[in-house]
Amino acid sequence: MDIAQILSLEFNLEPQHSLNIISLLDEGCTVPFIARYRKEMHGSCDDQKIRDFADRLEYLRNFEKRKEEIVRLITEQEKMTPEIMKSLDEALTLTELEDIYRPFKPKRQTRATIAEAKGLKPLAEIIFAQKDKTPLEELAKDYINEEKGVENVEQALQGASDIIAEMISDDAEIRKILREFLMSSAQIVTTLKQGEKYLIYQTYENYKEPVAKIPSHRILAINRGEKDDCLKVDVEVNNEKCLELISEEVLVKNGSYEEFMRNVIADSYERLILPSLIRELRNALTDTASEQAIKMFEVNLKPLLMQPPLKDKVILGLDPAYRTGCKIAVIDQSGNVIDKTVIFPTPPHNQIEKSEEVISQLVKKHNVDAISIGNGTASKESEIFVSNLIKKLPRKVEYMVVNEAGASVYSASKVGAEEFPDYDVTTRSAVSIARRLQDPLAELIKIDVKSIGVGQYQHDMPQKRLTTVLDGVVEDCVNSVGVDLNTASYKLLEHISGLNAGIAKNIVEYRRKNGKFTERNELLNVSKLGEKAYVQCAGFLRIPNEKNILDNTGVHPESYTATKKLLSMFNMSEQDVINENIQNLPRLIAAKGEEKVATECGIGVPTLNDIVKELLKPGRDIRDDLPKPELRSDVMSIEDLKVGMVMKGTVRNVIDFGAFVDIGVHQDGLVHISEVCDRYIKHPSEELTVGQVVNVKIISIDLQKQRIGLSIRKVDSDLTTENVVTTNA
């Protein structure tokens, strides 16, 4: 198998680009490094394409390894034939390989192996060939052997039947035909068990849906119902058609022993083939559904992590609670905790006036710009309290309700304890809630991303695969933004290309002992950070306000010489970069010719373009180009809503059947996939992303169930912002 050739075709790459990516991955280069700093080698593929390429490369290598192993095992049994080898060469999936190997796989004791031990294999082969005209009873007499336990004709024929049944079951072509037929025609059937605890799965009472059409989220819901012992799940199959398909492959036209063979086919199908294929089918459905759910988590996680920060603001974090009070933490513009306390504005205490006085003093003392409220228990009461309070403040203060999913995980974690050893867990949560508004990426990476709450059924997923994919998302996000080498926590640094937790801690320790870094190459003094790691990480680490302006850009140190040559070519200097006097650089390059400039600088055109982009905005944060977080100054409740009202909302979670949108009433509304847009879409993620601000129309309200139905497509296309209720995020 020419893996590079296959990958070139599948990913529409030049053959050399495919070989280069494989080589870079094998050298231990990270995906962010390859995507950002080796563009000429792969044709400027993005992070996701390279990650998909790496996944497929791993699959193909595992496939090739397994194929070689199967060839060896069959050869060792001296059963390899040109036909088998041809089948192995033509196989495209691991399932097909295993089907071919199935007849040669060592088996535990079965009815067929017992019959073979009694010497009945030759009889089975004669009957299976269907050419001999000797009556079965006569044929079987020659195989009666009391010493081997074959006492009569009936036992001889039963043994032959068992052997043939297993031969049919092990036939790769038969299994392939039936597998394809079941995937296209079988139906999932569920029945609800009786009792009050099963009502959560009421939807699946006497439920039936074709396997070919059932969406991934329903597969996962059914699996969970079965696991919870609330649902009985069956697969409904057209048995007659299946038997017909097997017969077409097995029966010889005008052959002998047709009635006997039809009985054997029925036995093989019912006892061996069908149970096996149903297990395979359900496993395949689960695998596909799991991969879809993981992909959905991946799609949601990236925009969540990449939400724009609220920079240069003093933020008050409020962790809502009832009996134990609301924990308060104030952080400065750099995220440092500068004050903390507890207030009791919620039931059962209801100390509204005293709590208002405490918050007012904190706002005045620290010039608080915004209040970040966690969306957990007592969030609504806390939001009402804050909304009423800020109307009375002389200083303009706005607030936002943030998703606090995982905040309790962080506060009780080793990382939380290391960062704030003297704080209790609830105070740590308040700090985390404040920082989630100030810099979502830096704070959210401190917790297990599976706890962030933007996926479906994440605890039912293959955890190793889920972790690998989500770690890749975090890595891509952190490296695309870059981090300040002198302020980043070790938890943030460990996600930088080429670094791990150990080296990240060594960087923080070096910083503590020696003071802040003044240039990138000082990293080479850090314990266990060698040349290879330096090459991988240096371009993603920023050092603001130091002598070398390039150290505060995404320009890699290996391109510093080329960058200086570029500036010199047009009579510019690094001081011009600092003073932002190079805005005409793109025009000058275009006039001279990109190819010519790149060649003279000793770099490729993609690298030249990246360098220019960085020089124009040194120290830029790509998140600054995204819409800023929408802060609020008032609050509404579900009782204030009316059908037909149009509101501005923020997408909180995108799922297979729609999206949940926060419209500022504590309870997120659901935009069903059919209400996302006028055109047909296969998935809501084609139109929506987490954090996106959208105009929505309320189409249904269920106060009893606290459900809000929303539509985006029904919002008038000529709607202006003046028509929209804006007292929400």
pLDDT tens-digit series, residues 366-392: 999 999 998 888 888 898 899 999 999
Percent of the chain having pLDDT more than 90?
68
What does the pLDDT average to over 318-344?
Answer: 94
Percent of the chain having pLDDT more than 70?
97
Task: Read off the pLDDT band of 729 (50, 70, 90).
Answer: very low
612: three-class secondary structure by DSSP? helix
Task: Read off the pLDDT band of 393 (50, 70, 90).
Answer: very high
Task: Read off the pLDDT band of 635 (50, 70, 90).
Answer: low
Q: Name which of 501, 48, 584, 600 is nearest 301 in CA terms.
A: 48
What does the pLDDT average to over 27-53?
Answer: 95
Residue 309 Cα distances to 434, 436, 547, angstroms: 11, 8, 27
User: Which residues contact residue 224 at a Cβ distance below 8 angstroms, ignoring those fewer than 6 apart?
Assistant: 457, 460
Count Cα atoms within 13 angstroms, Cβ side, for 314: 17
CB 256 within 8 Å of CB 130: yes
What does the pLDDT average to over 127-136?
Answer: 93
Q: From start to end of 539-617, where are the E strands?
A: 541-542
Question: Is residue 724's pLDDT more than 70?
Answer: no
Sign, Cα dihedral of 294, 303, 726, 713: negative
| Average pLDDT over the chain, rounded to an integer | 90
What does the pLDDT average to over 76-84?
Answer: 94
Which DSSP helix (H) or strand (E) runs through 424? none
For the whole model, what pTM was predicted?
A: 0.81
699: three-class secondary structure by DSSP? strand
Which DSSP helix (H) or strand (E) runs through 339? strand 337-343
Please tell me the least confidently modeled range out of 129-133, 306-310, 348-352.
Answer: 306-310
Q: How many helices (H) and strands (E) does the chain have?
A: 31, 15
How big, in percent rounded to 5, are the helix, strand and coil portions of the chain? Answer: 55, 10, 35
Question: Is residue 75's pLDDT more than 90?
Answer: yes
What does the pLDDT average to over 29-41?
Answer: 96
Task: Read off the pLDDT band of 196 (50, 70, 90).
Answer: low
Task: Read off the pLDDT band of 721 (50, 70, 90).
Answer: very low
Residue 348 Cα distances to 215, 219, 414, 637, angstroms: 45, 43, 33, 21
- CA atoms of 610 and 570, how far apart (whole Å): 17
- CA atoms of 334 and 330, how far apart (whole Å): 11
Which residue segments constitute the domains of the chain, with CATH numbers given? 3-88 (1.10.10.650), 111-291 (1.10.3500.10), 315-474 (3.30.420.140), 481-625 (1.10.150.310), 638-723 (2.40.50.140)
Question: Is residue 456's pLDDT more than 80?
Answer: no
pLDDT at position 296, please? 85
pLDDT at position 723, please? 45
What does the pLDDT average to over 564-574?
Answer: 93
Task: Read off the pLDDT band of 401 (50, 70, 90).
Answer: confident
Please tell me the least confidently modeled range out of 1-5, 329-333, 455-459, 601-605.
Answer: 455-459
Question: Is residue 38's pLDDT more than 90?
Answer: yes
Q: Name which of 150, 157, 102 is nearest 124 in CA terms.
A: 157
Q: Which residue has the higher pLDDT, 465 or 721?
A: 465
pLDDT at position 297, please? 86
What does the pLDDT average to over 494-508?
Answer: 95
pLDDT at position 668, please? 87
Question: Is residue 727's pLDDT more than 50?
Answer: no
- CA atoms of 35 and 24, how far apart (whole Å): 11
Tens of pLDDT, residues 654-704: 888 899 998 877 788 999 999 999 999 988 989 998 888 899 999 999 888
What does the pLDDT average to over 530-548?
Answer: 93
Q: For 316, list phi and psi in degrees, rounded to 5.
A: -105, 120
User: Which residues contact residue 515 at a Cβ distance below 8 angstroms, ignoring those fewer than 6 apart?
Assistant: none
pLDDT at position 197, please? 66
Question: Is residue 716's pLDDT more than 70?
Answer: no
Q: Exposure of 646 by Cβ count < 10 A (0-12 exposed, 13-18 middle, 19+ buried)?
A: middle
Please tell me the least confidently modeled range out of 50-64, 602-616, 623-637.
Answer: 623-637
Q: Exposure of 639 by Cβ count < 10 A (0-12 exposed, 13-18 middle, 19+ buried)?
A: exposed
3-state SS track over 132-199? CCCCHHHHHHCCCEHHHCECCHHHHHHHHHHHHHHHHHCCHHHHHHHHHHHHHHCEEEEEECCCHHHH
Task: Read off the pLDDT band of 607 (50, 70, 90).
Answer: very high
How many residues appear in the chain? 729
Task: Read off the pLDDT band of 519 (50, 70, 90).
Answer: very high
